[in-house]
Amino acid sequence: MKINWNYPTSVWLGDNRIKDLSKACNDLEISKPLFVTDKDLINLEMVKDIVLDLKKIFNDFTIFSNFAGNPIGENVEEGVIKFKENGCNGVIAFGGGSALDVGKAIAFMSGQTRPIWDFEDIGDHWKRANQKKIAPIIAIPTTAGTGSETGRASAIINKKTGIKKIIFHPKILPSIVILDPVLTIDLSPRLTAATGMDALAHNLEAFCAPGFHPMADGIAIKGMQLIKKSLLNAVKNGNDLEARTDLLAAASMGSTAFQKGLGAIHSLSHPVNAQFNIHHGLSNAIFMPYVLTFNKNLIEKKVISICDYLNLDKNFASFVNWILELRKELKIPHKLSEVIEINEKQIEELSKMALEDPSTASNPIKMTVDDMKKLYEHSISGVLF
């Protein structure tokens, strides 16, 4: 199966579509690409083979990989220096969410004079950017979770404050996305599970977010349906290319859908990711049932309305039980306290950060610091609302 579609950007999907990467560069007139991937991926044989092929095609080919998960602003700054020093004119962002976020941010910041934090997703801060100097981006995800390949933002940690910031601009959206399930075959069952739950969180929160956006709602429902169909299959059999394809599509769909909004799952996750370096998909999976039950009064009818699509009994409890059972089968902890030790003072600080997170504004229930504190406390004790 080889399919191209355009929503919201140009997506090239199918087995071994990585072989079309040089064509994507030509289509975007990228003659001097900066290949951005993390320090772990760059050493894999799969990546070495891709890089070797590209070096045969491009006389000027530069690699930047000096970063790991939960990237910081300094990683982006270093990448921009390398981009400029080598006269690059486009970015190939290859890897998981961190690599895609760094690659997109480098392409964006390569033409800016203000610091990256001036473009945080607040109001119309994005209008401060010189959009004519944003380099073209090709995004190639090797995990099926963040959906950053179809997103208009990058999540970057401000090291000075310890807070994960969302940097936004419409033109951070990659011009071409390559979804190749073969690239995800070697993803471990643990990371397949965590990234799949991340994609589920995106689709679920987008669907539950208030407001009228039927296109986002429709995409989110189908995204959840694909995850229900294929996540366990991909975890149990990593070579199942059909399941891998479903998850890649669902991840891109989640990011497309959450232009409608996210919610407290992400509000709670971002501070924990920044402060304790926990995988974003894992923290989203842990917080999911607590936020669902907390929001029940305002989302119950919505959740019941999609149970038929997911082959679940038509009630709220059935949906929550599916989430709980899915997490159990994926060996995801029920409690935050199974992953980190956290004290009362830290809960207070995390709660303040969570309230200020951009995702909070679109949570179905208007949140307070006390609400965030209660959610953290419940996730530590394991008691649902």
Between the CA of residue 175 and those of 26, 47, 315, what are the distances in Å? 12, 22, 41
Global pTM reads: 0.92
Tracing tokens 């029940």 back to the chain, one arrives at 296
Mean pLDDT of 94-117: 96
Q: How does residue 266 score in pLDDT terms, banded at 50, 70 and 90? A: very high
Between the CA of residue 137 and those of 63, 93, 111, 155, 257, what are the distances in Å? 15, 7, 13, 16, 21
**Predicted confidence (pLDDT) at residue 5 exceeds the cutoff of 70:** no
Residue 2, pLDDT score = 81
Residue 8, pLDDT score = 83
Three-state secondary structure call for residue 5: strand
Mean pLDDT of 346-357: 96
Mean pLDDT of 168-182: 95
Mean pLDDT of 241-252: 97
Structural domains of the chain, ranges and CATH numbers in brackets? 2-183 (3.40.50.1970), 187-381 (1.20.1090.10)
Residue 6, pLDDT score = 67
Three-state secondary structure call for residue 140: strand
Distance CA 169, CA 22 (A): 26
Distance CA 303, CA 318 (A): 10
